[in-house]
Amino acid sequence: MQVTKKSRMQVRLQNIIFVALFLGIVGLLAWLSNRYAISTDWTADARNSLSASSTELLKTIDGPIEITAFVRNDPQSATLTKRITEIVSRYQKHNEAISLRFINPDTEPQMTRDLGIRVEGELVIRYGERSENLQNLTEQSLTNALQRVARSSERYIVFLEGHGERNPRGRANHDLGDWATQLQNKGLNIQGINLANNPRLPDNTSILVIASPQVNLLPGEFSIISNYLAKGGNLLWLADPGELHGLGGLAEQLGIEFQPGIIVDPTSLSLGIQDPRFTIITEYGSQAITANFDSITLFPQATGIELVEGSDWQADPFLTSAANSWSETSELKGELELNAGEDIPGPLNIGLILTRNLGADADNSGSEQRAIVIGDGDFVSNAYLGNAGNLDLGLNLVNWLVGDENFIDIPAKTAGDLKLELSPFAAGLIGIGFLFVLPLGLLAAGLWIWWRRRQA
């Protein structure tokens, strides 16, 4: 081909056109990438994508969902910020109404205290008037938290009043105001009932809470409660050591007996708690209430509960004191020790789960009636709710009683394609290949090309 001035101009023009088109395409791709986001998950088990259960739940939630993450704005917290952003972004792909913002707890101490933030990285999930704090961020925990704040049906928690019970609106140390506030934040409705003024429990009662009455109930009041239980109502009974104040018949109805005395737990003394009445629970049963619950709980003054044979209730102890504890039946003073024949040796049941199948004549439409009896009402009081895992346990109790324990179970996704297992022969072959065969082959090819050029 003869190179002329005209051909040179044609080549230059072609080059100019090529560069212009190339730059145009690059600019167009940059604009598209900024305007539209496309992502695909090529991992073997789609571990970077939400499960079908989570995506189905997100389709049912309307309205804005605000997620606030409390993370410090420093290099040490950058990894935590990135992880939260990555997980929440998976939810935002399926629901654009989810917003995420970060708050530095050091610059917003009042907000941090008001929202009850306890650890860095804690999230506050708000949907409408409901909110929930989340400390351990996983897909399962976040999905279940969204399910709780978005629950549609109303749940009414009715507290018995008029006998010196712990007040769900009270601010005294022994009252339950903080616990009730947390329940309301989870979308539950709190109301009190004085059966002397209104001798009928509301029809919409999800749980009747009896929290440590100090004076005896009237026979008519007990009859109302007994009928409520007989007809399938759910019950949470927080009982303190001592008198039952007219509720002995309720214990018989449930098939339980309260043991005399106050539980003494030497474990609490070894942990620096000087009051021998404090009982620490570190292990729990495998029931839904305490599934995946690994926090210790503190019971300031507990009494043991014993099961009675022949009850139609199925009882499962889920809070049990240490083996070296005992129920002290004498006055708590001086050096305490287990006196055989007088005191009751441990381990002792502090909390019982009671369930029974409802008969065909029961008014309640549910298939299972639920009750929980705990031999200490102090653990959810204002004074002790913030200790250890008391708050989480108190919320779990109510969620189970209202039937919201069946949260979405999302199995952990394992990274099955991150580990390469080779036999010793294969590993040796690859090592020899990269260390010797490949370099020698490249060297031989270079020498052969050099020799051919010398011969040309």
Distance of CA 234 to the CA centre of its chain: 23
pLDDT digits (tens, 9 = 90+) for 392-407: 889 889 988 988 665 5
Share of the chain above pLDDT 70, in %: 93
- Calculate mean pLDDT across residues 418-434: 84
The answer to whether residues 259 and 344 touch, using CB atoms and an 8 Å cutoff, is: yes
pLDDT computed for residue 362 by the predictor: 47
Question: Interior CA angle at 116 toward 112 and 117, to 5°?
Answer: 60
- Calculate mean pLDDT across residues 202-217: 92
What DSSP letter does each residue of 286-323 carry, written as one string?
A: SSGGGTT----EEESS---EEE-TT-SSEEEEEEE--T
* Rounded Cα–Cα distance for residues 252 and 255 (Å): 5
- Calculate mean pLDDT across residues 82-96: 90
Closest listed residue to residue 269, CA positions, set 281, 256, 278, 282: 278
Q: Which of helix, strand or coil describes residue 266?
A: helix
The answer to whether residues 135 and 119 touch, using CB atoms and an 8 Å cutoff, is: yes
CA dihedral sign, ordered 304, 308, 312, 318 = positive
Q: 435 phi and psi, to 5 degrees?
A: -85, -30
pLDDT above 50: residue 411: yes
pLDDT above 70: residue 364: no
pLDDT digits (tens, 9 = 90+) for 126-166: 988 778 888 888 887 888 788 778 776 678 899 999 999 99
pTM: 0.66
How many alpha carbons fall within 13 Å on the CB side of residue 123?
25
pLDDT digits (tens, 9 = 90+) for 25-51: 999 999 988 887 777 777 776 777 888
**End-to-end Cα spacing for the chain:** 25
Average confidence score pLDDT of the chain: 86
- Give, for 67, the enclosing helix (H) or strand (E): strand 65-70
- Calculate mean pLDDT across residues 173-195: 87
pLDDT computed for residue 303 by the predictor: 94
